[in-house]
Amino acid sequence: MKATIRALGTEFQEILETFNVHNITSCGVSRTKHSPAQHALLGLAAVLPFAAFIATLVLCCMHSSAKKRAREALLISREPPPVAASNNSVPTRLRRLEGKTVLVTGGTAGMGLEIALDLAHRGARVIIACPFEEEGTNARKQIVDETGNENIVFKLLDLGSLKSVRKFAADILKTEERLDVLINNAGIGVPGDFLTADGMNFIMQVNYYGTFLLCILLLPLLKKTGQPGEPARILLTTSLLHRFGQVDINNLNKTDYWYKLQIYANSKLCLISIAMEMSKRLEGTNVVINNVDPGAVGTKIFESGNKYVGYFLIVLINFLFKTTRQGAQTALHVALDKKAGEVNGGYFQNCEISKAVKKAYCEKSSKMLWEES
């Protein structure tokens, strides 16, 4: 059965690649040229693009869902129970993080909140960021109440505004003495198709441009913090949907795709590609950057788009795949594990190094993306 599903998943992916909206070179860089035959195929593919996309998502994930669940359950089961009956008790063998500072974008809900809770349990100073005052205030209170760690800070950050990103970064550089880990967890799913005040596609700006700018602006503090043998770490949260993305240099901010999940997939592929390029530029700086793919997780990201589509995706994913706590495990592994800290430019899945889609590793497209960004 698993072999059949795997074969179907591969077949679906090949079909979608045949029907892609862009003509792709060997490096995965779109030149947006189509032959008459391709135009005919595009018209056929447009009949049920969303259905095909969802079907492919399910087929590509179902064959490995049992392995993923087993792996994540094993990771969580390794944590011993608390040794003291208090709100501040934590497992004795967990790595302690007193004196460390971690920034989690989107750390106020879903998987980001799970990450922030774990780090707070370990004694870290945790900065959580999101664009919503009430959500951030409530999240901080929850983290403090559950962990007993008062060293939790909430700051406003809207990745959909370059002005907000610059203001946030300037505040961090002014108020923080160190930054050990930057976890770029925040993202947007499939909202309305529009351009921001900065002239960028909203999904691309939140998921890619805003995140990229934040990393660049915070690099001085990360470099200051990193030490030989204990580098500062940057995590970029990608998605299994990156496999359906395209790095179309001439149309990164396009707003009229047949289906909005294509934009989301593009943004996640761009993160992997830019991490590879940035990792080269970070060599010798005691800062490493890696991608984290949490797998299929039911989070609030899908509520950001069409209400009915979002509800369908959440029900589907909750039924088949990971909880937010399980999804958070890979990010925690890459943020805390000593061996993971020795990797630069890697792609992690299920708490181990893995491989992204081949086109993500094209040096030509990653360099072009860096120059464009």
Rounded CA separation 266/268 (Å): 5
Q: In what order do the strands lie in the sheet with 101-105?
A: 152-156, 125-130, 101-105, 181-184, 232-237, 287-293, 347-349, 352-353
Rounded CA separation 371/367 (Å): 6
By the 10 Å C-beta count (0-12 exposed, 13-18 middle, 19+ buried), 294 is classed as buried
Whole-number Cα distances in Å, 229 to 100, 250, 339, 340, 342: 15, 40, 10, 12, 8
Query: What CATH homologous superfamily does 94-372 map to?
Result: NAD(P)-binding Rossmann-like Domain (3.40.50.720)
Contact 284, 231 (CB under 8 A): no
Residues tagged active-site? 264
Per-residue model confidence as pLDDT tens for the chain (373 residues): 444 444 444 434 443 443 343 333 334 344 344 455 544 444 444 444 445 555 555 545 544 454 455 444 445 434 433 333 333 333 434 789 999 999 999 999 999 999 999 999 999 999 999 999 999 999 999 999 999 999 999 999 999 999 999 999 999 999 999 999 999 999 987 665 688 999 999 999 999 999 999 999 999 999 999 999 999 999 999 988 888 877 777 777 777 665 667 888 899 999 999 999 999 999 999 999 999 998 876 555 555 455 555 566 666 655 666 788 888 999 999 999 999 999 999 999 989 999 998 888 878 787 888 888 7
Position 272 scores a pLDDT of 94
Contact 188, 301 (CB under 8 A): yes
Rounded CA separation 354/351 (Å): 9
Instruction: Return the domain boundaries, the chain.
Output: 94-372
